[in-house]
């Protein structure tokens, strides 16, 4: 076990964290959906038709590139609609949920004795496989690959995140079995990454014996100390030829529960947080739940509220009632932000300023964070890149952010690859995009580049 200290980075002083860590139960969603486009580069092949009777674990679609891995329904009911977008791209598959207990039939297996191939087969058919994601490219893992190692991300430093330890409370045994199963899938086993502030030692031991094939590492420091990309960079860096997988703590418990009980778990624990949330709670809902189950949390007294699946930095707009208004496959939190447009007169001349900046050009931040506004204002407009060293302040990896982002912006494939684009996903550059005074869309540029590298490389 080792402790890795992250010095560069940033914990946003944003208000709206959890009121308490006690788990509440949200009303059951009337509908759930899967969002195929969340899996990068997917070529969707539908496995169910509109109007079909669906059970928990019934395959809805798969990726033609890896047809063994199915994406399965988290609810039992009827497949209500398949929503398509431009060029007939499948945006979502919506299931009208009747219950969350009726499971699709499958044969039970003994996880402890199963060979690797059997475990892979069972996971791929259960619909739980997409919890495993691969670096480079941050896409769903391919079931034919053997990764160098599997990173279990058991810490979360995203703004307003809940502790993953709380998210698996009461499911500790399942978490342990999940680790055991995953350890068999990778060449070098599982790397369990936790926060230095939390004690996870009981979760990687069974009795007194440490679980075989599980190495543990602790991270201390500001965000992005809790991101898989950071862990991978320091412990087992990836490149064009080396792949690793990563998976979040709740998904490990799901995998453990699946092998222990033969049932596909459908519950998901979510932190509903944000400055525009009138009540902030840790709630249990379902995977793929419709966002309107969180409607009661939104504080609309100041105008429109944006629902974000994920954190304010790396989340995805998920407005209830729209095609995106569903809880995403990997979301661990729902963030609510004020989304009301407002144009301030001579805003640049405000001596104190109402908003927070990493630079000290708005001294308002020294007079208490409580009066500062955190909303969806871009706070400026796009300009040419003027590198004053802010990116370097929030980039803990041995990556030169200014040069990398410039390579991305100038579509320099070779340069971007050399400078470390393959090690990163959008979430790893989110802080860079946040602090940028030129408002360069760094994360979108990174995804474009990754898509291009995958296609051409």
Q: Please, which of residues 261-320 interact with another protein by CB under 8 A?
A: 306, 308, 310-317
CB 310 to another protein: min, Å: 7
| Position 209 contacts another protein (CB under 8 A) | no
Q: Which residues pair with 277 in a beta bridge?
A: 298
CB-CB neighbours of 220 under 10 Å: 14
Environment class of 356 (CB within 10 Å of its CB; exposed 0-12, middle 13-18, buried 19+): middle
Instruction: Select the span of 37-45, 167-175, 207-215, 236-244 touching another protein (CB under 8 A).
Output: 236-244
CB of 102 to another protein, least distance (A): 35
List 81, 109, 387, 452, residue binding another protein (CB under 8 A): 387
Contact 223, 11 (CB under 8 A): yes
Query: Distance between CA atoms of 198 and 218, rounded to whole angstroms?
Result: 9
The token pair that represents 278 in the structure block:
């009138």
Should residue 101 be labelled a site residue for another protein when binding is judged by CB under 8 A? no
CB atoms within 10 A of CB 345: 6
- When the beta carbons of 259 and 391 are compared against another protein, the nearer one is 391
Q: Which pair of structure tokens corresponds to residue 140?
A: 């769903």
CA angle 415, 419, 425 (to 5 degrees): 110
- The DSSP secondary-structure symbol of 89 reads -
Q: Does 138 bind another protein (CB under 8 A)?
A: no
Minimum separation from the CB atom of position 84 to another protein (A): 21
Decide if 244 contacts 148 (C-beta within 8 A): yes
For tokens 């495993």, the residue is 132
CB of 453 to another protein, least distance (A): 16
Quote the Cα angle for 154-158-162, to 5°. 60
Q: Which stretch binds another protein (CB under 8 A): 71-79, 161-169, 220-228, 238-246?
A: 238-246
Q: Using CB under 8 A as the criterion, what x/- string covers residues 330-359 for binding another protein? A: -----x-x-x-xxxxxxxxx---x-xxxxx
The reply to whether 257 sits near another protein by the rule CB under 8 A is no
Query: Going by C-beta distance under 8 Å and a sequence separation of 6 or more, which residues neighbour residue 266?
Result: 56, 74, 75, 100, 286, 287
Q: How far is the CB of 351 from another protein (least distance, A)?
A: 10
Q: Which of residues 181-200 bind another protein (CB under 8 A)?
A: none
**Binding status of residue 115 toward another protein by CB under 8 A:** no
Closest approach, Cβ 248 to another protein, in A, equals 17
CB under 8 A: which stretch of 40-48, 96-104, 125-133, 231-239 binds another protein? Answer: 231-239
Applying CB under 8 A, which of residues 115, 117, 370, 386 lies at the interface with another protein?
386
User: Burial level of 9, CB count in 10 A (0-12/13-18/19+)?
Assistant: buried
370 binds another protein (CB under 8 A): no
Tokens coding 81: 């609609």
Binds another protein by CB under 8 A, chosen from 13, 27, 85, 380: 380
Rounded least distance, CB 389 to another protein, Å: 6
């Amino acid at each position: 076990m080792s402790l890795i200290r992250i010095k560069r980075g940033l914990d946003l002083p944003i208000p709206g964290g959890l009121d308490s860590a006690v788990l509440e139960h949200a009303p059951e969603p009337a509908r759930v959906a899967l969002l195929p486009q969340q899996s990068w580069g997917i070529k969707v092949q539908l496995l169910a038709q509109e109007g079909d009777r669906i059970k928990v674990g019934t395959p809805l679609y798969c990726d033609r590139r890896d047809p063994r891995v199915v994406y399965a329904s988290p609810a039992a009911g009827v497949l209500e609609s398949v929503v398509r977008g431009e060029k007939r791209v499948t945006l979502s598959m919506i299931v009208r949920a009747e219950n969350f207990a009726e499971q699709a039939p499958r044969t039970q297996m003994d996880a402890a004795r199963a060979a690797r191939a059997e475990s892979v087969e069972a996971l791929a058919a259960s619909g739980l496989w997409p919890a495993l994601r691969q670096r480079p490219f941050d896409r769903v893992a391919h079931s034919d690959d053997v990764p160098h190692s599997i990173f279990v991300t058991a810490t979360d430093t995203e703004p307003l995140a809940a502790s993953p330890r709380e998210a698996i409370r009461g499911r500790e045994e399942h978490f342990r079995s999940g680790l055991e199963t995953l350890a068999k899938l990778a060449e070098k086993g599982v790397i369990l990454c936790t926060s230095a502030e939390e004690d996870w030692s009981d979760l990687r031991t069974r009795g007194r014996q440490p679980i075989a094939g599980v190495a543990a590492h602790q991270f201390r420091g500001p965000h992005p100390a809790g991101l898989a990309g950071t862990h991978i960079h320091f412990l087992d860096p990836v490149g064009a030829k080396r792949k690793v997988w990563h998976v979040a703590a709740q998904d490990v418990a799901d995998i453990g529960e699946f092998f222990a009980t033969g049932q596909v778990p459908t519950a998901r624990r979510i932190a509903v947080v944000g400055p525009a949330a009138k009540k902030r709670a840790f709630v249990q809902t379902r995977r793929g739940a419709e966002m309107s189950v969180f409607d009661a949390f939104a504080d609309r007294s100041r105008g429109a509220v944006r629902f974000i699946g994920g954190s304010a930095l790396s989340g995805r707009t998920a407005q209830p009632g729209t095609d995106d208004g569903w809880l995403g496959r990997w979301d661990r939190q729902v963030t609510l932000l004020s989304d009301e447009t407002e144009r301030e007169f001579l805003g640049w001349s405000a001596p104190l300023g109402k908003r927070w900046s990493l630079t000290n050009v708005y001294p308002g931040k020294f007079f208490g964070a409580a009066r500062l506004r955190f909303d969806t204002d871009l706070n400026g407009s796009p300009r040419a890149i003027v590198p004053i060293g802010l990116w370097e302040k929030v980039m803990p990896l041995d990556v030169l952010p200014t040069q990398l982002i410039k390579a991305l912006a100038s579509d320099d494939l070779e340069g971007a690859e050399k400078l470390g684009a393959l090690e990163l996903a959008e979430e790893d550059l989110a802080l860079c995009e946040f602090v940028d005074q030129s408002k360069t869309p760094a994360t979108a540029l990174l995804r474009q580049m990754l898509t291009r590298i995958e296609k051409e490389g």
